[in-house]
């Protein structure tokens, strides 16, 4: 009754890059693929039809947010996430682990998936209102809701029960996402705990899957911080378990994402899909895919859109800049997205200045189209052996090197 499979169709010579297909009960995902983030069972500012129109094949929602609001019981009563949010394609949910730690335990420590000055500052600011910390033990995590301060517990079994109630096609084992700043001795303790939780997640998941007609696929989450031997140990330990695929979790230092991913993909079973959690900058996409990543998710395209920033072939641009007030051309002349086909930069600049909601919609459409389309191009370049030409041309223009 297994309704999940992964098939590799082409591989790029002398690299780990591959193009293939993930099959789920709600359809196929051509890989590599960018998975659109729909945190609270909605891709912010877009209808599911608009999400489909930009080329998104699948959506990832956050267990932590949906558990707190509206609660998994309500989603289950609605018939599961697909029915509830009117999305008929493949869906992922994360384990809830990252948000529990980033909104709780990491308060004041600046946890982020990537250690950069900017991320550290914004993460500390975001958490200034979080007066109480999450508490971690081998049994699980006690944390306080960022919405109303109420106390909650999350553990591997409960994460699985929530994710089964939500009903996504691909779900993740409960893991401890450590800060990139954490010392080695703490990373070791956290990694042992992540491995114990992985087995507990798997056991509970298999029990729940046997009780339902729909098959949900479970990915184990590789951790280990910036330490090569810990990352390898994690990949080997989880790789030997009966997971359907693997997530690669934070934490990284910004320059080392590709290196750390390579350590892990070297050890993971080749025939199972790999998802890089929460990473999707242009450079990460090229280097992640080259290192054997099949799927990505990242909030950046929609988050920066709401601030008026767009991706272009020449890098990120802020449309709030005064020079756009009279630029009566599309954001990108040759972009085939709905926004560029129908609107000018001057119009979107006006919407941003007037704080009109439509700006978020139009810019999210452009940014999601940009990232999704880029990964489509990378997939084609693996199939027709032009990956390195695309990578060189695209990166030199995007980063103006
Ligand atoms: Zn566009």
Q: Which domains occur in the chain, in start order? A: 5-99+159-298 (3.20.20.105), 311-398 (no CATH)
Cα-atom radius of gyration of the chain, to the nearest Å? 20
Average pLDDT over residues 20-43: 98
**Residue 141 clears pLDDT 50, i.e. is over it:** yes
Average pLDDT over residues 188-211: 97
Instruction: Compute the mean pLDDT over every residue in the chain, rounded to the nearest whole number.
Output: 92
**Residue 162 clears pLDDT 80, i.e. is over it:** yes
Greatest alpha-carbon pair distance for the chain in Å reads 61
The per-residue pLDDT for 114 is: 59
The per-residue pLDDT for 256 is: 79
Confidence of residue 7 (pLDDT cuts 50, 70, 90): very high
Average pLDDT over residues 315-323: 98
**Residue 21 clears pLDDT 50, i.e. is over it:** yes
Least confident among 79-88, 111-120, 383-392:
111-120
**Residue 118 clears pLDDT 50, i.e. is over it:** no
The per-residue pLDDT for 228 is: 95
Pairing of strands 309-312, 315-318: antiparallel
CA 321 and chain centroid, separation: 29
The per-residue pLDDT for 250 is: 77
From the candidates 169, 175, 294, 297, which is the catalytic residue? 297
* Placement of tokens 């591997």 in the chain: 156
CB 398 within 8 A of CB 28: no
**Residue 276 clears pLDDT 80, i.e. is over it:** yes
Average pLDDT over residues 152-180: 95
**Residue 121 clears pLDDT 50, i.e. is over it:** no
Query: Over pLDDT 90: what percentage of the chain?
Result: 82
CB 45 within 8 A of CB 364: yes
302 to 11, 28, 55, 311, 366: CA distances (angstroms): 31, 23, 14, 11, 9
The per-residue pLDDT for 89 is: 98
CA distance 174 to 156: 5
**Residue 156 clears pLDDT 50, i.e. is over it:** yes
Between the CA of 44 and the centroid of ligand 1 the distance, in Å, is 18
Confidence of residue 297 (pLDDT cuts 50, 70, 90): very high
Between the CA of 361 and the centroid of ligand 1 the distance, in Å, is 12
Q: Has 393 been annotated as catalytic?
A: no
The per-residue pLDDT for 305 is: 98
The per-residue pLDDT for 148 is: 87
Between the CA of 300 and the centroid of ligand 1 the distance, in Å, is 16
- Give φ, ψ of 200 to 5 degrees: -65, -40
The per-residue pLDDT for 401 is: 61
From the candidates 94, 175, 284, 294, which is the catalytic residue? 94
Average pLDDT over residues 176-182: 84
CA 395 and chain centroid, separation: 22
- Residue 113: name the closest of 6, 232, 251 by CA: 251
Between the CA of 315 and the centroid of ligand 1 the distance, in Å, is 14
- Residue 154: name the closest of 166, 137, 168, 129 by CA: 137
Average pLDDT over residues 141-170: 94
Confidence of residue 97 (pLDDT cuts 50, 70, 90): confident
Q: Has 376 been annotated as catalytic?
A: no
Average pLDDT over residues 45-57: 98
Confidence of residue 1 (pLDDT cuts 50, 70, 90): low
> Which range has highest mean pLDDT (107-111, 204-208, 246-250)?
204-208
**Residue 107 clears pLDDT 70, i.e. is over it:** no
Q: What is the DSSP string of 319-374?
A: TTSGGGGG--S-SSTT--SHHHHH--HHHHHHHHHTT-THHHHHHHHHHHHHHHHH
Between the CA of 360 and the centroid of ligand 1 the distance, in Å, is 13
Average pLDDT over residues 205-222: 97
Between the CA of 279 and the centroid of ligand 1 the distance, in Å, is 22
**Residue 119 clears pLDDT 70, i.e. is over it:** no
The per-residue pLDDT for 345 is: 98
The per-residue pLDDT for 27 is: 97
Q: Write a three-state SS string for 164-218.
A: HHHCCCEEECCCCCCCCCCCHHHHHHHHHHHHHHHHHHHHHHHHHHHCCCCCCEE
Between the CA of 339 and the centroid of ligand 1 the distance, in Å, is 5
């Amino acid at each position: 009754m297994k309704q999940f499979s992964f098939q590799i169709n082409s591989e790029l010579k002398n690299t780990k890059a591959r193009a293939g297909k993930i099959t789920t009960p709600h359809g196929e995902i051509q890989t590599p693929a960018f998975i659109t983030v729909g945190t609270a069972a909605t891709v912010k500012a877009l209808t599911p039809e608009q999400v489909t129109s930009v080329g998104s094949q699948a959506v990832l929602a956050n267990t932590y947010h949906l558990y707190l609001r509206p609660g998994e019981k309500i989603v289950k009563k609605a018939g599961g996430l697909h029915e509830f949010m009117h999305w008929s394609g493949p869906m992922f949910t994360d384990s809830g682990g990252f948000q529990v730690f980033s909104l709780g335990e990491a308060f004041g420590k600046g946890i982020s998936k990537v250690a950069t000055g900017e991320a550290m500052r914004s993460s500390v600011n975001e958490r200034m209102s979080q007066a109480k910390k999450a508490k971690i033990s081998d049994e699980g995590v006690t944390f306080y809701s960022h919405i109303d301060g109420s106390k909650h517990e999350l553990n591997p079994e409960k994460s699985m029960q929530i994710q089964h109630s939500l009903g996504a096609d691909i779900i993740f084992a409960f893991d401890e996402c450590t800060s990139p700043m954490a010392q080695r001795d703490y990373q070791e303790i956290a990694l042992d705990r992540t491995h114990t939780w992985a087995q507990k997640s798997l056991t509970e998941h298999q029990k729940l899957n046997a009780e339902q007609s729909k098959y949900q696929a479970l990915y184990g989450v590789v951790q280990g911080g910036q330490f090569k031997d810990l990352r390898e140990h994690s990949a080997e330990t989880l790789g030997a378990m009966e997971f359907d695929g693997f997530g690669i979790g934070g934490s990284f230092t910004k320059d080392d994402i590709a290196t750390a991913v390579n350590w892990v993909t070297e050890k993971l079973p080749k025939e199972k899909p790999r998802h890089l959690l929460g990473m999707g900058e242009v450079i990460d996409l090229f280097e992640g895919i080259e290192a054997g990543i099949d799927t990505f998710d990242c909030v950046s395209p929609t988050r920066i859109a709401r601030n008026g920033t767009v991706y272009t072939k020449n890098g990120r641009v802020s449309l709030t800049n005064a020079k756009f007030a009279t630029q009566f051309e599309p954001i990108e002349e040759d972009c085939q997205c709905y926004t560029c086909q129908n609107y000018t930069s001057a119009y979107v600049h006006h919407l941003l200045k007037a704080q009109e909601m439509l700006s978020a919609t139009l810019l999210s459409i452009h940014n999601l189209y940009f990232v999704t389309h880029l990964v489509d191009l990378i997939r084609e370049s693996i199939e027709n052996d032009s990956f390195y030409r695309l990578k060189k041309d695209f990166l030199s223009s995007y980063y103006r090197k």
